[in-house]
Amino acid sequence: MNAAEDLYADQAIKFLEMLWGEGYLSPGGLDEIKRLLTGMDVRGKHVLDIGCGSGGIAVGLANEFNAQRVTGIDVEKPVVEAARRRVENAGLSDIIEIKLVSPGPFPFEDESFDIVFSKDSIIHIADKEMLAKQAYRVLRPGGWFVASDWLISHDDEPSQAMKDYIKQEGLEFRMASPGRYESALEKAGFSNISLTNRNPWYLQTAKQELSELEDTRRAEFVAEVGEAYLLDNIKTWKAMLEVLASGEHCPHHFRGQKTA
Ligand SMILES: C[S@@+](CC[C@H](N)C(=O)[O-])C[C@H]1O[C@@H](n2cnc3c(N)ncnc32)[C@H](O)[C@@H]1O
């Protein structure tokens, strides 16, 4: 049974994986992970994956990027259980550990990881400054924090369209601006910081996703999650497309390096 407060309960996992791929609770699949990790040598490294979801990325980091070890952390039991099953089925239990953690400081010693990674999960963490400090603390000198996340273009009051979208998502988003992320990284001590706006890519991708939901894969989704659940998500995608089109919803890639 899922706890009532789980945002990514079994039906949400099923729906998102149908749309985004087995083990993925965010868009873009392995191609997007490759773009995010461009120029990063993951071979032989110990990677922390913050908000690992149902584990597809942790498996990819081991199988496709040859990470020596991956530690995935998440705060929700259904995704942690799904990730553990995926790791076991992939025969990667010796390489990948999935931990259920409480929100807040990471339960790891200083300088435990070579790379701190995250894909579209920091949106759920309100205190970006604490998060950046924790990432810095657990990285070894010279290590990189590399992440993708869903940002808002400014720190003022969100537009009505953005408020409506966030409410419709119902996932307790804690969005912040690129400027806030950059200053959180700087204050934590990171150097070589860069941010890349992925809005143009996701705007196009989300249009394609909506046409799958409404048209080309509609029957498949109705059979798996039911008409009402699908219609609610079509509403979400329409609300999201409005704020993607305005640029207010601006997914980013960002990275920063701990001083060697
Ligand atoms: C959009 S999903 C992305 C999952 C995965 N990274 C992926 O791309 O498939 C966001 C994940 O962040 C997790 N999450 C929420 N709050 C968190 C926190 N404070 N620390 C770690 N993970 C968190 C959620 O449980 C969920 O699994």
Is the distance from CB of 76 to CB of 6 less than 8 angstroms? yes
**What does the alpha-carbon distance between residue 169 and residue 172 come to, in Å, rounded to a whole number?**
8
Q: Determine the distance separating the centroid of ligand 1 and the alpha carbon of 175, expressed in angstroms.
A: 14
Cα distance between the two ends of the chain: 46
Q: What is the mean pLDDT of residues 165-179?
A: 93
Domain assignment present for residue 26? The answer is yes
Domain assignment present for residue 177? The answer is yes
Q: Determine the distance separating the centroid of ligand 1 and the alpha carbon of 257, expressed in angstroms.
A: 22
Name the residue with the closest Cα to ligand 1, atom 15.
124
Rounded (5°) CA angle 72-87-140: 30
What was the pLDDT predicted at 56?
Answer: 98
Closest atom of ligand 1 to 56 CA is 9
Is the distance from CB of 76 to CB of 8 less than 8 angstroms? yes
Number of C-beta neighbours around residue 246 at 10 A:
15
Is the distance from CB of 250 to CB of 151 less than 8 angstroms? yes
Domain assignment present for residue 225? The answer is no
**What does the alpha-carbon distance between residue 190 and residue 117 come to, in Å, rounded to a whole number?**
14
Domain assignment present for residue 107? The answer is yes
Q: Determine the distance separating the centroid of ligand 1 and the alpha carbon of 120, expressed in angstroms.
A: 7
**What does the alpha-carbon distance between residue 25 and residue 3 come to, in Å, rounded to a whole number?**
19
What was the pLDDT predicted at 2?
Answer: 44
Closest atom of ligand 1 to 20 CA is 9
Residue of 101, 104, 106, 107 whose CA lies nearest to 83: 101
pLDDT digits (tens, 9 = 90+) for 30-88: 999 999 999 999 999 999 999 999 999 999 999 999 999 999 999 999 999 999 999 99
Number of C-beta neighbours around residue 141 at 10 A:
9
Residue among 16, 87, 124 to mutate when testing ligand 1 (max atoms within 8 A of CB) = 124
What was the pLDDT predicted at 6?
Answer: 83
Tell me how many domains the chain contains: 1
> Does residue 1 register a pLDDT over 50?
no
Lowest-pLDDT range of 34-43, 140-149, 168-177, 199-208: 168-177
What was the pLDDT predicted at 193?
Answer: 98
Residue with tokens 């083990």: 23
Rounded (5°) CA angle 177-100-66: 80
What was the pLDDT predicted at 171?
Answer: 79
Mean pLDDT rounded to a whole number for the chain? 96
Q: Residue 60 is part of which domain span?
A: 10-150+173-198+250-257
User: Using a 6 Å CB cutoff, which residues line ligand 1?
Assistant: 8, 24-26, 50-53, 56-57, 73-76, 79, 103, 119-121, 124-125
Over pLDDT 90: what percentage of the chain?
Answer: 95
Q: Determine the distance separating the centroid of ligand 1 and the alpha carbon of 74, expressed in angstroms.
A: 6
Burial label, 38 (beta-carbon count in 10 A; 0-12, 13-18, 19+):
exposed
> Does residue 150 register a pLDDT over 70?
yes
Name the residue with the closest Cα to ligand 1, atom 7.
25
What was the pLDDT predicted at 3?
Answer: 52
Domain assignment present for residue 82? The answer is yes
Name the residue with the closest Cα to ligand 1, atom 25.
76
Q: What is the CATH number of the domain that holds 142?
A: 3.40.50.150
Domain assignment present for residue 224? The answer is no
pLDDT digits (tens, 9 = 90+) for 83-102: 999 999 999 999 999 999 99
DSSP class of 104: S
Q: What is the mean pLDDT of residues 208-216?
A: 98
Q: What residues contact 95, with CB distance under 8 A and at least 6 apart?
A: 62, 67, 68, 69, 70
